[in-house]
Chains A and B, each alone.
Chain A
Amino acid sequence: MKKVSISFTLNGDAVTAEVPVTWTLLRTLREFFELTGPKEGCGVGECGACTVIIDGEAVNSCLYPVPEVEGKTVTTIEGIADSDGSLHPLQDSFLKNNGVQCGFCTSGMIMSAKALLDRNPDPTEDEIRTSIAGNLCRCTGYVQIVEAIGMAAETVKQKG
Chain B
Amino acid sequence: MIDYDYRKPENVKEVFSFLKDYGPKATLIAGGTDVMVKIRNRHLSPEVLVSLRGLEELRYITKKKGYHIGAMTTHGMLEHSDMVRTELSALHDGASRVGSVQIRNVATVGGNICNASPSADTAGPLLVLDATLILEGPDGRRTVPIVDFFTGPSKTVRQQDEILIEFDIPEEMSGFGSAYWKHSRRKAMDLPILGVAVAVRLADDETVSDVRIGLTVAAPTPIRAYKAEEFLMGKRLDDDVLEAAGRIASSESSPRDSMRGKEWYRRDIIHVFVPRMARLAAERLRNQ
Contacts and interface: CB of A to CB of B under 8 A. Distances in A.
Given A22-B2, A22-B4, A46-B189, A63 B101 contact: no
Interface string B146-162: 00000000000000000
A44 interface: yes
Interface string A47-67: 010010000011110111101
B40 A59 contact: no
Interface residues of B, number: 27
Given A45-B33, A45-B37, A67 B101 contact: no
A115 interface: yes
A57 B37 CA distance: 20
Contacts of B36: 24, 44-45, 62-65
A43 B40 contact: yes
Contacts of B37: 44-45, 63
Contacts of B188: 130, 133-134
A18 B76 CA distance: 31
Interface stretch (B18-26, B102-110, B116-124): B102-110
Nearest to B74: A57
Chain B interface, >50% SS class: loop
B201 interface: no
Contacts of B40: 43-44
Interface string B20-57: 00000000010011001100110000000101010000
Contacts of B189: 46, 133-134, 136
A68 B53 contact: yes
A4 B6 CA distance: 10
B254 interface: no
A21 interface: yes
B105 A57 contact: yes
B106 A64 contact: yes
B6 A134 contact: no
Interface string B216-255: 0000000000000000000000000000000000000000
Interface of A: 1-2, 4, 21-22, 24, 43-46, 48, 51, 57-60, 62-65, 67-68, 70, 112, 115-116, 130-131, 133-136
